[in-house]
Structures are given as C-alpha cells and as structure tokens.
Amino acid sequence: MEEVRRSYSRLCKESGAEPQETVLQRLQELPRGRLDLATQSLTADTCRALGKLLQKEALVTELVLSDCMLRATLLLQGLCANTVLQFLDLKGNNLRAAGAEALGRLLRQNKSIQNLTLEWNNLGTWEDAFATFCGALAANGTLRQLDLRNNQISHKGAEELALALKSNTSLQQLDLRWNNIGLLGGRALVSCLPSNRTLWRLELAGNSVPSDVLRAVEQAMDHTQEREATFRENQARTRVLSKEVRHLQEEKSKQFLDLMETIDKQREEMARSTRTSAARVGQLQEALNERQSIINALKAKLQMAEAALALSEQKAQDLGELLATAEQEHWSLVQRQAKERRLEQQEAAERESKLLRDLSAANEKNLLLQNEVDELERKVKSQQDQLFLTRQELTNTSAELKMRAIQAEERLELEKKRSRQSLEDSEHLRFKEVEHMTRHLEETERAMQERAQRLEAARLSLEKELSRVKAVALTERGQAEEELIKAKNQVRLEEQQRLGHLEEKLRLLAQARDEAQSTCLQQREAVAEAQARASQLGLQVEGLRRRLEELQQELSNKDQEKVAEVTRVRVELQEQNGRLQAELAAQEALKEKVAALARQLKVIASDHREALLDRESENASLREKLRLKEAEMARIRDEEAQRASFLQNAVLAYVQGSPLRTSSPQK
C-alpha cells in the first residue's frame, strides 16, 4: 500500500501538482483491492495521476468514483491498459459526450472489467457519442453487468443498444430503468432479444414502455433462462455420459497396456540376460587381453632395465677412465703453477733489489739537498716501510696460496678415490669445471703479473718524478699503494671463491655417484619384481582360461534355456492375442451401445424441443387470453371509474345543494 501511495505522490509531483490528502488516505487502506473515492472532488491533475497509476497497478480490482465530478477522459485513458480491474462505478459524474467516447475506447481496449455502473451521467443526450459507446459494447467480450439508469436514453439510443446486443456475446444483465426509451425503443429491444443468447435480465421500468412490450421482454428473458437451464442440463448429461465412456476406454486401455508391459518385461529380461552373458564374456576376454598386455609390457620393461643397467655400467667405467685422466692433468697443472709461482717470486726479489739500489742512488744524489728535502726523505722512508710491508704481504699470500693448493690437492685426491664410480655426465661436467678453474687461475696469474709490471713501471716513474716534482711523486706512490691493496684483496677473494666452487663441485659429484648407485639398486629390484609379477600373471592367465571355458559352457546352457523360454512366451502371446480379440469385440459392442445412447439422446432432445415449442405456443395462447381478459378488466375498471365519478359528482352536488335549502328559510 505504501508503494502505491509513493507512486501516486511521484506522479503528482511530475505533473507539477500536490497530491490530495483524501486520495492518499484511501490509497493507504485499499480493503481487499477496493479503492473507494465516492463523493470526493477530484482535480484534473489527480485524474491524470490516477490514470497513469492504474495503467500498471495490480492491487486495485474495484474502483468506486461515484459523484466525483471527475475528468473522465484523463482517467479512462489510463484504465484502457489495465488488466486486473473488474468493477468500475462512475455514478453521478455527468460524463456527457466526451465521457461516452472515452467509455467506448475503454470497452474496446480493456479486457478485464465485468461490472460497469454509469447511472446519472446523461449519456443518451448526445446521440453520436452514445452510438460510439454502443458500438464498443457490441465488440466487448468481457462485460457481464451494465447499469445505465437515469441517462436520458431516447428511443434512438435504445435502437443503438439493440444493435449492440445482437452482436454482444457476454452481457448478462442490463439495467435501463428511468430513461426515455418509449414504445419504439422497447420494440427495438424486443426485436433484438431472439438474436442474443446471453442476456437473461433486462430492466425497463420507468421508460413509458407499454405493458405488452414489457411482457414480451419478460417472456424473452424467461425463455432465455429456460434455454440456459436446459442447455446446462444437457451439458451435464453429456459430461456424465462422456465420463462413463472415457472410464470404460481407460479400463480397456489399462488392461491392454498391462498386457503389453508384461510382454515387454519378458522381452527385456531375455535381452538383459543375453547382454549380461555377452558382457561377461567380453569382460573376461578384455581382462585376458589386459593381462597379456601387462605381461608384454613387463617383459619390455625388463629388457629396458637390463639395457639401462649395462649402459650405466659402461658409463661408470668411462667415468673412471675420465677421472684418472683428469687427475693426471690436474697434477701436471699444479706442478706447472708451482714452477710459475717460483719464477714470479724470483722476479719479484730481483725487482725489489733493483728498487733498493735505485733508492740508495737516489739517496746519495739527494744528500746535497738534505736541508730542502728532509721532509721528503721522511716520506720516502715511510714509503719504503710500506713497500717492505707489501713484500711481506706478498710472501704471506704466496705461502697461503701454496697451503691452499696443497689442501685442495689433498681434497681432490680424497674425492677422486670416492668418485671413481660416478656417472659420465657428472665427470664430464667436473672436467669442464677443472678446465674452467685452470683457465681462470692462469688468467688471474697473468692479471697479477701485469699488475706487478704496472706497479714496477709506476714505481720507476715515481722515482724519476721524485727528483723533479716531489708532490707528484707522493701522489703516485699513494696510488700505487692503493692499487697494491686492491690487488691483494681481489686475489684473496678470487681464491676464496675458487675454493668454495671446487668444494661445491665435489659435493655434487658425490651426490651424483650416490644417486647412480641408488638407481642401479632400484632397477635391480624392479627387475626382480617384474619377474615375480610375470610368474603370477601367468598363473592368473591359466585360471582365466579355465574360467572362460566354464562361462562358455554356461552360455550354451543359457541359450538352450532361452530357446525354451521363447517358445513358451510365443504360446502365451498367442493366447493373449485371442483374449485381446475377444476384448476388442466387447469394446465394439460397447461402442454400439454408446451410439445407441447418443441416438436416444438426440431423440430425447428433439422431443424436448417439440414439447418446448408446444409449451411456448400454449403460453402464447394463454398470454393472449390473459391480455384479452386484462383489456376487458380495464374496460370494466374504466366503466366503474366513470360510474364512480358520476356518483361522486351527484353526491357532491347533493351535498352542496342541501345546506343552501336549509339556510334560506332562516334568512
């Protein structure tokens, strides 16, 4: 309900008007879908908003708008699209011509209104608009009740209504009381009633219609009601008979279907048994083929494992040979490196002696300038101390390198003893790593030699420049010292990295050797398991062959049983076919009975129609006699009324004359 109120308020605001409070209150209530706005003065904006609201509103089934003086065109335009409204009351709204035309559009487009009240609306005053309304009524197929009281309908409007009633197939009750239909309109309505099969109530009181026309209308209504009753009775009888016939047909069809179901079930059981036996044989054959394929696969795996084992043994031998060659090459490389290191040490000592001699000569030359270069000599001494320290560091590093080389050789020997049985791929990688390490060592040695040469050249240049520019000599010596420190650090780092890399490679080789041994053991175990499974599968194949022979024997026995069962079922089917033929004959007899009953029904219906016609003729004669008697009684009543008037006049004359006579003598 609240949603309806909000929709109404929104539509009013869209049209720029304020919603009416009374309408909001009635929209809030809506008892059982009934919207009662009777005696409420509705504005044009409200009518427009209500029309838009009722286009899609599904809650309102009854709408009361009596005595509202509304703008009908705005509201009825929205009701044309409504599909749930069943009762509409527009009493006392003075709709006039525009309202009649809007009502015509409503009756043509709306398919849900069943009860329409239009009392006190002066629809008959405008004949063209009322004709439009009557044309829409003729095309309408849902309206059941129509109230047109007090609408100033003339005999022409009644003629238009008569034309509409000839085409209408749904209207059952029509109220035309208190209009101006008259004799001509009444006759037009009486002439249309034989064509209408649905109208059973027509009210014409207060229309100046003669009594004979009213009686004819009543007779037509009674006839329509009797015809409707007989039609309903015949329909009920036909429904009962059709139900009995359908019941008999259903019973026979059920019996026939049960018989066919039993036959189908027997056939399905036979087919199922054959399918199951065939499926069993197929499954056993598939199992046998699977076992055979498994045995073949295991044999192939066994051959592959043996070949892989032979390859692994061959690879182990090749790896052992490669390891021996790698050890010899590594030993020769170590000896070569030791010789090169000795030569480098001798060259370094000679260079140091040369530097000392050059320094002493420089000192002798610089004695003359002692007063000027005392400070420079102290710096030179400090540089000599630093050079001495660098020599000591070089000797220490060479000793450390020798120790590390000896340790590496010992580790290599141990690893050689452990990894003689590793795989070919790992040895090949190790050989590549050793070559890489040797190349790297040679490159580092060459780099060290080049750096030492560069340092010697720097020292010579420093000594030469010392005599010339003391400040430049100091800076170059500082740079040389920094380069020496960097070279030492770099050499130490490279040696540490090489040792770590060698240790990692040795660990990987040991792991590869262990993995190769474990794979060999696993392959041997797999070969043993495959041989055991092959023996078991052979036993299972023999058991399956015996089982297959047994199943074939059972299948032959079942085939014989099926042949016997098929013959028995054929005999039963022949018997059932005989029964079905007898039942079909019985059904044909029942059909003949049904046809006889239908013929009897037709005869009864024709007799009933003749009796109805006789009764109608008797009723007509009786009505004619009654009309004559009523006319005679009217004549007698008129004569009695004349006599009564004469007597009344005489009495009045006598009454008026008697007091005059009595009063004259007194005067």
Give me the DSSP letters along 239-294.
HHHHHHHHHHHHHHHHHHHHHHHHHHHHHHHHHHHHHHHHHHHHHHHHHHHHHHHH
The rounded average pLDDT for each run of 10 residues, N- to C-terminus, in the chain (667 residues) is 83 85 84 86 86 84 88 85 91 88 92 93 90 94 94 92 93 93 92 90 91 91 87 87 84 82 82 80 81 81 78 77 77 80 79 76 70 69 74 73 73 71 68 74 76 76 72 68 77 77 76 74 74 75 78 78 78 80 80 81 80 81 85 85 83 69 39
CA-to-CA separations, 232 to 237, 446, 616, in angstroms, rounded? 9, 126, 20
Residue 148: predicted pLDDT: 94
Q: Contact, 384 vs 462, CB < 8 A?
A: no
User: Measured in whole angstroms, how far is the alpha carbon of residue 224 from the centre of its chain?
Assistant: 56
CA-to-CA separations, 140 to 74, 109, 439, in angstroms, rounded? 21, 8, 110
Q: What DSSP character marks residue 367?
A: T
The 3-state DSSP class for residue 16 equals coil
Residue 88: predicted pLDDT: 94
CA-to-CA separations, 380 to 377, 385, 455, 463, in angstroms, rounded? 5, 9, 17, 10
Residue 408: predicted pLDDT: 66
For CA atoms 289, 292, 294, 296, give the dihedral sign.
negative
Residue 492: predicted pLDDT: 77
Q: Please state at what angle helix 72-79 crosses helix 44-56, rounded to 10 degrees.
A: 10
Q: Contact, 94 vs 68, CB < 8 A?
A: no
